[in-house]
Amino acid sequence: MLPNQVGRRSFLRRGGLSLGSMALGNLLARDGVGLRAAGGGGTPGALGALHHTPRVKRVIWLYMAGGMSHLDTFDHKPTLVKLDGQPMPESVTKGKQIAQLQGSALKVFAPQHPFKEYGQSGQKISTVFPLLGEKCADQICLIRSLSTDAINHDPAHTFMNTGTMIAGRPAMGSWVLYGLGAETQDLPGFIVLVSTGRYGQKQPIAARQWHSGCLPGRVQGVELRGTGDPVLYVRNPPGVDNAGQRGVVDAAQALNRLHQTRVDDPEIATRISQYEMAFRMQASVPGLMDLRDETKETLDLYGTKGGDGTFGANCLLARRLAERGCDLSSCTTVTGITTAPSRNISPGRPPRWTGGRRRC
């Protein structure tokens, strides 16, 4: 019978050169134990040194659930214009999972704005984005070859963020942080900013879409709130200064390390690192949220005064996070046009919800 203080992982490790101990060693290696973080700090990456010099330093992933359809913005389909109003061809729907649309009279719906070729590359972009086409057509990459079998919103959100419709797999940002590590030491390497629509509607997603899944918990996305304190309890309680808080953290860390020597559990190692991160965030997060160094012109460009939880405010925070070394920021949003017919959106102007037919 095993003593209470000996955990499963510790038992396998002490069991000699067995299949269990080898598997445990592999798990610990994959959890980043003993690996060196790039630059000598931050979060270690499982890949270590890369075989080439990386060019990408930061990633801001704008996931705009409820935004305009790709067919109305960047994916030119001339056949849709020709077939507008006609019954949907059987070749498109036969054998497909069309959920609640099964048995309905489906008709083709053409793009509501014309497309135009922009730049030397001839990128075809909807005229609803004239400035984007005129100024950025030759600096952006549009991938139009992707497809999916997901038709319902929730599985589609999960697929876009994790690569599968099955819940429980690691998010893209978790894979990036796990493999490459992070340079930042005062902020998490993978941060999620969830936006609120102009009419108060919340993002129709769940935390599993930035979860670490089978990877170590330390690479899970950390959600920052768009209004109020970005992280609950990030400020010291009344009567507690930084020195006192440091003492509390040190005491908790000492107990965690003592327990870790007994059970050798990667999740305890994650807890130790996250406690340290939380303490450092007490100093870094208030500066992140202080927008007094942003000019009025900049705030006007983002369409926000800051701190209101809107998509514009979160894009501003994502830029500030990138400037502070955060490797991957994910801005997710409901923009207020989930049910907006795209024909009511004027070129060059932000969309407004007007009700009417849904465009998915």
- C-alpha 86/C-alpha 79 separation (Å) is 11
Q: Dihedral sign, CA of 223, 290, 227, 307?
A: negative
- H/E element, 194: strand 190-194
Q: Number of helices (H) and strands (E) in the chain: give both, helices first.
A: 11, 6
Whether 286 has a pLDDT exceeding 80, the answer reads no
- H/E element, 269: helix 266-289
Whether 39 has a pLDDT exceeding 80, the answer reads no
The DSSP string of 327-344 is: SEEEEE---S-TT--GGG
Please tell me the predicted confidence (pLDDT) of residue 287.
Answer: 76
pLDDT tens per residue, range 132-184 = 999 999 999 999 988 887 877 788 888 888 988 888 899 988 998 888 888 77
Please tell me the predicted confidence (pLDDT) of residue 19.
Answer: 43
How high does pLDDT run on average in the chain?
Answer: 75
Please tell me the predicted confidence (pLDDT) of residue 134.
Answer: 94
Asked if 267 and 279 touch (Cβ cutoff 8 Å), the reply is no
- C-alpha 223/C-alpha 6 separation (Å) is 34
Integer-rounded Cα radius of gyration of the chain: 24
The tally of CA atoms less than 13 A away on the side-chain side of residue 226 is 26
Please tell me the predicted confidence (pLDDT) of residue 204.
Answer: 63
Please tell me the predicted confidence (pLDDT) of residue 1.
Answer: 43
Please tell me the predicted confidence (pLDDT) of residue 27.
Answer: 44
Whether 7 has a pLDDT exceeding 80, the answer reads no
Structure tokens at 270: 């994650």
Going by pLDDT thresholds of 50, 70 and 90, the confidence category of residue 329 is low
Q: What is the pTM of this model?
A: 0.69
Please tell me the predicted confidence (pLDDT) of residue 285.
Answer: 75
Q: Which of 132, 136, 135, 79 is nearest to 109 (CA)?
A: 79
> Which runs of E-coded beta strand occur in 220-338?
222-224, 328-332
Percent of the chain exceeding pLDDT 70 equals 71
Q: Dihedral sign, CA of 235, 236, 237, 239?
A: negative
Q: Phi, psi (5° rounding) for residue 23?
A: -65, -40
Whether 358 has a pLDDT exceeding 60, the answer reads no
pLDDT tens per residue, range 335-345 = 333 333 444 55
Strands 115-118 and 123-126: antiparallel
Burial, 212: exposed, middle or buried (Cβ in 10 Å; 0-12, 13-18, 19+)?
A: buried
- C-alpha 317/C-alpha 314 separation (Å) is 5
Average of pLDDT values for 327-354? 46
- C-alpha 43/C-alpha 185 separation (Å) is 7
Asked if 329 and 310 touch (Cβ cutoff 8 Å), the reply is no
pLDDT tens per residue, range 15-29 = 443 444 344 344 444
Say what angle helices 311-323 and 266-289 make with each other, to 10 degrees.
Answer: 110
Q: Cβ contacts of residue 351 below 8 Å, gap of 6+? A: 68, 335, 336, 337, 340, 342, 344, 345
Q: Which of 345, 343, 332, 324 is nearest to 280 (CA)?
A: 324
pLDDT tens per residue, range 65-91 = 777 888 999 999 999 999 999 998 888
pLDDT tens per residue, range 85-105 = 999 888 887 777 776 677 778
Most confident by average pLDDT, 41-55, 127-141, 218-232, 288-302: 127-141
Q: Phi, psi (5° rounding) for residue 319?
A: -65, -40
